[in-house]
Structure 1
């Protein structure tokens, strides 16, 4: 069942990439400017490695399903998906996996953005820890968390700088 969960998350990510591509095309056609593309391949690589690592670690190291850990972590995975989709719905066409900012457009301050500046990244961090731990793949959880922290440090800096510059023109 765990492998089906990983497959489902992988399919979900592919669907998100299709949505993202459509939204990015719309944003660029409407005056959006892309920022910080250099970190994007690393982000894609670590997210792909997360899914592969979950499957390989459980299989190769015969990681057990520990109900006291697995069930709560599955709940975190489901909740993180809920938060991610709340972000996607709230941002609408402005959501994509790239950093594309529409100059002169006010920041979104509804939905989860009322409470957090970067709620989608909270969902990514939670899922990156929880998905491997559903089946006690702690090495994958640790490695993803470290790599993701490095990429998010760059990404959030790029995004904040781009948003500040765009807001200066509002």
Structure 2
């Protein structure tokens, strides 16, 4: 697949790097705030509580927000529409499915505190979803 038009390559490359950096920083912050409760499996652990600091002030799943921004940034930096489409769409669809399972587990495991938390924040992007 052809890349971007030659005149627009550098601004999109730089934007891609900025989005990748922001995404990585957001994800790392989210993971650090969850500490030992961050796992790859979907379940609530004994002693786990709702985290409302850092990026969790604005969205329910900042780790996934960071991943999506990182993948979009990589697609832009590659300078190829096909790469951008694949990197933006495929992981996002997977994350949307995972979020449904994860939120069910969080509601079951944490109850009312998570319900209140979720009622006041979008899932991934403020003003979007």
SS of residue matched to 1:122: helix
Counterparts in 2 of 1:67 and 1:136: CA distance versus 1, 3 Å:
same
The TM-score with structure 1 as length reference comes to 0.57
How far apart in 2 are the matches of 1:78 and 1:103? 33
2: CA distance between counterparts of 1:84 and 1:105?
19
Separation of aligned partners in 1, 2:93 and 2:14:
28
Alpha-carbon distance between aligned partners in 2 of 1:139 and 1:62, rounded to the nearest angstrom: 9
Deviation at 1:97, TM superposition (A): 2.5
Residue from 65, 70, 75 that aligns with 2:18? 75
Q: What root-mean-square deviation, in Å, do the aligned CA atoms of Structure 1 and Structure 2 show?
A: 2.2
Deviations 1:63-108 (A, max 9, x none): 4781111011101111111111111111111112322311463211
Contact persistence 1:104–1:166 (CA under 8 A)? no
Pairing partner for 2:52 from 97, 105, 109: 109
Distance 1:125 1:99, change over 3 A: same
- Alignment: residue pair count: 110
Alignment gaps of 5+ in structure 2:
114-129
* TM value normalised by structure 2: 0.74
> 1:147 matched to which residue of 2?
90
| Structure 1 position 150, deviation (Å) | 2.1
Runs of 4+ aligned structure 1 residues displaced above 3 Å come to 61-65
Alignment of 1:120-159 (within 5 A): 120-159=63-102
Retained in 2: the 8 A contact 1:63–1:137? yes
1:92 to 21, 35, 51: 35
Q: 5+ unaligned residues in a row in structure 1: which ranges?
A: 1-60
Distance, in Å, in 1 between the alignment partners of 2:23 and 2:109 is 29
- Kindly indicate which of the two structures has a greater share of residues assigned to helix: 1
Conserved? CA contact 2:37–2:48, under 8 Å: no
